[in-house]
Amino acid sequence: MRPRHVLLALTVVLVWGVNFVVIEVGLEDFPPLLFSALRFFFAAVPAIFVLGRPPVAWRYVIAVGLALGVAKFGLVFVAMDRGVPAGLASLVLQCQVIFTVIFAVLLLGERPRRPQLAGIAVACAGLLLIVLDRGLTAPLGALLLVIAAGACWGVSNTVTRHAKPQDTLRFMVWVSAVAVLPLGGLSLLVEGPRADLEALRGIDLTGAGALAFLAFVATLFGFGVWGFLLRVYDASTVAPFSLLVPVVGMGAAWLLRGEAVGLQQGIAALLIIGGMACTVIRRRPRTEADSVEWMLSKSAA
């Protein structure tokens, strides 16, 4: 890769890693489901009038919007609101790699490669260590919500792989648009109109900044640059950069939020990241049609 493109890739990794800390900050001002709905509203609504219709059939946009936008992000925001720290969330969410491989085998008839199977086994060992260490880091129920979010992400990756959208940024904008109303409705039902109204009335610069970062920097800038890199280079060249996202996420949580990383959690992180690395080992270059799967399956929240 050219040096400036390496810098772009590292910038996206930095943005997506810090994104989890920004979510944690924003949750101090917003109920989780409302926060997620607002994130997608500001990311999608202005852009859909500029970018035009989605690049694939509506059924794929709606399916990914529900699985990724509503279920995955809704669960992550609720889990973090209930006590999962930012760094831990960025790490555990990468279990989506495991579910992506499993769903691709079950639903698309793909045959897993030996490195993928080895990676799944190693990553599962890391997740087990995280669960056993839950007393020091997060409530078990909230941690399981993050794992469930990873499963929903795996579903969306599988649908996206089947859809093969050529313009991933435009696809993600419409996916975001689909998520707005369901998340807003769930917020009214679960969190209540009063809590939502109080949050909107009491919004300050910190909350507005967190919302702007998620909508414009993490979503539009992040996916836009990542999609550009995938159009210029093979997915096998770009995708490994995403392995740094949980590393940056845990580092940012430690530096900015004082989140401690114990020995057991550190070992688990190495196992999970090592397991993910096994999934990108290939004996032949990936085809251009595989680019979208890598983009969506290897990003952060």
Closest of 7, 13, 41 to residue 218, by C-alpha: 13
Which residues lie closer than 8 Å to 201 by C-beta, 6 or more apart?
A: none
* Distance separating alpha carbons of residues 57 and 182, to the nearest angstrom: 20
**121 token code pair:** 């086994």
Confidence at residue 135, expressed as pLDDT on a 0 to 100 scale: 46
pLDDT tens by residue, 145-187: 999 998 998 888 888 878 878 787 888 889 999 999 999 999 9
Which residue reads 């924003």 in tokens?
26
Confidence at residue 184, expressed as pLDDT on a 0 to 100 scale: 95
* Distance separating alpha carbons of residues 82 and 27, to the nearest angstrom: 10
Residues shown for the chain: 301
Share of the chain above pLDDT 90, in %: 32
Closest of 178, 143, 153, 157 to residue 268, by C-alpha: 143
* Distance separating alpha carbons of residues 203 and 135, to the nearest angstrom: 33
pLDDT band, residue 289 (cuts 50/70/90): very low
Confidence at residue 72, expressed as pLDDT on a 0 to 100 scale: 93
| DSSP code at position 2 | -
Confidence at residue 152, expressed as pLDDT on a 0 to 100 scale: 92
Confidence at residue 27, expressed as pLDDT on a 0 to 100 scale: 94
Share of the chain above pLDDT 70, in %: 84
| Kind and range of the H or E run holding 266 | helix 263-279
Q: What is the mean pLDDT of the chain?
A: 81
| Kind and range of the H or E run holding 99 | helix 96-108
Q: Is the pLDDT of residue 89 over 90?
A: no
Which residues lie closer than 8 Å to 183 by C-beta, 6 or more apart?
A: 33, 34, 36, 37, 40, 69, 70, 73, 74
Q: Identify the residue with better confidence: 127 or 181.
A: 181
* Distance separating alpha carbons of residues 301 and 299, to the nearest angstrom: 7
- For residues 39 and 219, the answer to whether their CB atoms sit within 8 Å is yes
Residues 20-36, buried b or exposed e (16+ Cβ, 10 A)? Answer: bbbbbbbbebbbbbbbb
Q: Identify the residue with better confidence: 168 or 85.
A: 85
**Average of per-residue pLDDT across 29-46:** 92
Confidence at residue 149, expressed as pLDDT on a 0 to 100 scale: 93
* Distance separating alpha carbons of residues 282 and 298, to the nearest angstrom: 16
pLDDT tens by residue, 248-275: 888 888 888 887 767 767 777 777 777 7
